[in-house]
Structure 1
Amino acid sequence: MKPYYWESQHGNFGDDLNLWLWDFLLPGFREAHEDVLLVGVGTVLNSALLPKEGRKLVLGSGFGYGTLPDMRDRDLWDVRCVRGPLTAGKVGVPEELGIVDPAVLVADMPEFANQPKRHKCAFVPHWESAVAGLWPVVCATAGIHYIDPRGEAKDVIGEIAACELIVAESMHGAILADAFRVPWVAVSTSANINGFKWRDWATTVGVDPTARRIPISTRAEAIIKGARFWGVDYEGAEQAAGRGAVAVAQAAPSSGVRSAAKQVLAVPSTLALWQASRAEPQLSTDARLSERKARLYAVLEGVRRDYL
């Protein structure tokens, strides 16, 4: 059995954790049923992503982009659970199979136990924000620790666990914070942040997915997101220029004057992020999270009986 995950060319810890999480949850799964693809953490129930051929075992995946694959053939699709009730409704399985995002079980791995708190507050942006934004500088100015979602997944998760508060634009930043019992505040820099998948997960643990709006930090970030920056609308600019052009612009060296100018233009982002770090955070209840994890472990026990 092989785990499937969406692989960003930039790296994204919420997807990359599939590379080792299932070895902890289902030891020996790689040696069983070579014809089965384990479809796990991520918004990957998308006909453009998953191969049409072969059997799939779905464990906690979500819908949120594109179109669903044809999942009617239950001999090819073994849907044991999905990320939440909204995905369950789209897939056409009972709502009770929308249990929770399996990433919550990362917090049960011994290597992440008893993490000392090293940071009072940290910001975990969406990977697109990290690619084109000025967020490390914004965070430094606001006195907030910056966590790059493109880093090695275990390192990123360890940093989240070591915080007292997380400001999260990354959904898995919020999911992992909640799993480690770290209060969190949801933020969003553009309409590109997928509200459906946030509501899908949030419903399972009884939290409010409403995000505080944070202004975009750079022109390049606006281009890659097709959004507005300082009154200029860049909708469609990504298609016209291509993401490669944005990457080149970000990589090009900047003079001290240009860097200072960028920091001035990012002042609204800095202020809004600082305000978010002082907003009332939230956290699911211990009872609700424990109940969801117990249901997911019960599903995994059934998978062990049937596959391993």
Structure 2
Amino acid sequence: MRLTYYHGRVPNFGDDLNGVLWPALRPDLFDESETVAFVGIGTIIGFPCAPYRQLNVFSSGAGNDPLGRWADRDVTFWCVRGPITAALLGLEADRALCDGAILAPLVPSRFPAAHHDSGEILVIPHWQTLDDPGWEEAARLAGYVLLDPRGSPEAVIGRIARARMVLTESLHGAILADTYGVPWAAFATSGNFQASKWLDWTRSLGRGFEFTIVPPPSATGFLRYGRPMAAIGTSVSVTDAIAMRDMRGRTEQAARPAMTAKARVKARVKAWAKRSGLLNRFYDMSPARTAEALTGLARVVRQPSTAGTITQLQTRMMERLDQVGRSGR
């Protein structure tokens, strides 16, 4: 089967981890098949995957693509990211294992095998959030280190595994911190934050999920993605019902209509406001305010999952991966 996963216009270490992790763990599984695919890490259930007719899904999550897109394919769900995805798909509970990124320490030739504290407090915005200016200054003012999730999996995971603490808007920033036993806290800066996929993952660990709304250093993210779901400074707890409703809506939504003339005018007005800095003044946004919020967030980090929990999930996932190999699919 051929390894397939999401390739964006810019790198993202969580997606790119697929290309390193799976061939290192089970190189015998992969070839250049044009019909059979292995679908791995990412919120990619339902994503475009022509020409493959037979899909082997392993640790993927739902939430970005319409589920009906795979209706005419032969799909085997070996395991999915968590119980929210499993319930949405109508799968048995044992199909919900965890995100495959927790297997990174099992490849010591590419990733650290264990945590070694460097003393760094890392700030990891979502890879799209980093298009907005001011993050370097915000991290510097807080006395923290900005980590770009658009780096290579080896570089990003290596830094996370050595961190003292991780403050992250990147889901895989949290997953890798938790895997390596590093305390972490989640934050959101715009409407681009997808809380349902986070709860999907934390539920696989037997935990709930809470995140904090942090003001970004500039308002440009508000222009692209809208305001976050709660007021700045608010701590938000996500329930299973809310996550399921959100995930169902995301996977059933129709294609967006073409931009209307009115919308194009509105976009030009927003672009002008962005250039003039009016929105930053209106929303009182600056790197200094972001730094202050991040400093507060560092005081409420959550402790990571126990080593026993991580080891148990890694063992179960590797056993399931062996089943894929024995299946002959």
TM-score normalised over the length of structure 1: 0.83
Shift of 1:106: 0.7
Q: Which residue of 1 aligns with 2:59?
A: 60
Q: Secondary structure at the match of 1:50?
A: coil
Mean CA deviation greater in 97-106 or 269-278: 269-278
Give me the whole-angstrom Cα distance separating, in 2, the residues matched to 1:37 and 1:2: 5
- Contact 2:165–2:182 at 8 Å: present in 1 too? yes
Give me the whole-angstrom Cα distance separating, in 2, the residues matched to 1:211 and 1:196: 12
- Contact 1:192–1:225 at 8 Å: present in 2 too? yes
- Contact 1:206–1:284 at 8 Å: present in 2 too? no
Q: Which residue of 2 aligns with 1:208?
A: 208
- Contact 1:121–1:164 at 8 Å: present in 2 too? yes
Q: Which residue of 2 aligns with 1:283?
A: 304
Structure 1 residues 115 and 199: CA distance shift in structure 2, 3 A: closer
Mean CA deviation greater in 30-39 or 9-18: 30-39
Shift of 1:105: 0.2
Q: Which residue of 2 aligns with 1:98?
A: 96
1:299 aligns with 2:299: no
Shift of 1:285: 1.8
Structure 1 runs of 4+ with >4 Å offset? 70-73, 239-242
- Contact 1:133–1:221 at 8 Å: present in 2 too? no
- Contact 2:83–2:200 at 8 Å: present in 1 too? yes
Give me the whole-angstrom Cα distance separating, in 1, the residues matched to 2:208 and 2:91: 24
Shift of 1:146: 0.7
**Structure 2, unaligned stretches of length 5 or more?**
232-258, 277-283
Mean CA deviation greater in 171-180 or 23-32: 23-32
Shift of 1:174: 0.3
Q: Which residue of 2 aligns with 1:180?
A: 180
Q: Which residue of 1 aligns with 2:245?
A: none
**Structure 1, unaligned stretches of length 5 or more?**
232-238, 255-262
Over residues 112-151 of structure 1, what are the superposed CA-to-partner deviations in whole Å (9 max), with x where a residue is unaligned?
Answer: 2356433421011111111224211100110011100111
Structure 1 residues 275 and 241: CA distance shift in structure 2, 3 A: farther
Q: Which residue of 1 aligns with 2:118?
A: 118
- Contact 1:207–1:282 at 8 Å: present in 2 too? no
% identical equivalent positions: 31
- Contact 2:48–2:69 at 8 Å: present in 1 too? no
Over residues 177-232 of structure 1, what are the superposed CA-to-partner deviations in whole Å (9 max), with x where a residue is unaligned?
Answer: 1111111111111232111100100001123321011012212222222238xx9x
- Contact 1:33–1:307 at 8 Å: present in 2 too? no
Give me the whole-angstrom Cα distance separating, in 2, the residues matched to 1:39 and 1:21: 13
TM-score normalised over the length of structure 2: 0.78
Give me the whole-angstrom Cα distance separating, in 2, the residues matched to 1:137 and 1:208: 32
Structure 1 residues 199 and 133: CA distance shift in structure 2, 3 A: farther
Give me the whole-angstrom Cα distance separating, in 2, the residues matched to 1:70 and 1:107: 34
Q: Which residue of 2 aligns with 1:27?
A: 27
Q: Secondary structure at the match of 1:31?
A: coil
1:265 aligns with 2:265: no
Aligned letter for 2:2?
K
- Contact 1:119–1:145 at 8 Å: present in 2 too? no
Q: Which residue of 2 aligns with 1:218?
A: 218
Q: Which residue of 1 aligns with 2:280?
A: none
- Contact 1:44–1:50 at 8 Å: present in 2 too? no
Structure 1 residues 155 and 187: CA distance shift in structure 2, 3 A: same
Give me the whole-angstrom Cα distance separating, in 2, the residues matched to 1:94 and 1:152: 35
Give me the whole-angstrom Cα distance separating, in 2, the residues matched to 1:191 and 1:69: 25
Give me the whole-angstrom Cα distance separating, in 2, the residues matched to 1:31 and 1:128: 32
Q: Which residue of 2 aligns with 1:87?
A: 85
Q: Which residue of 1 aligns with 2:49?
A: 50
Q: Secondary structure at the match of 2:210?
A: coil
Give me the whole-angstrom Cα distance separating, in 2, the residues matched to 1:39 and 1:107: 20
Aligned letter for 2:149?
P
Q: Secondary structure at the match of 2:186?
A: strand
Give me the whole-angstrom Cα distance separating, in 1, the residues matched to 2:91 and 2:285: 50
Shift of 1:34: 4.8
Aligned letter for 2:62?
F
Give me the whole-angstrom Cα distance separating, in 1, the residues matched to 2:227 and 2:191: 8
Aligned letter for 1:66?
D
Mapping 1:229-240, distance limit 5 Å: 240=263
Provide the aligned length of Structure 1 versus Structure 2. 290
Q: Which residue of 2 aligns with 1:107?
A: 105
- Contact 1:149–1:156 at 8 Å: present in 2 too? yes
Aligned letter for 2:95?
L
Shift of 1:70: 5.4
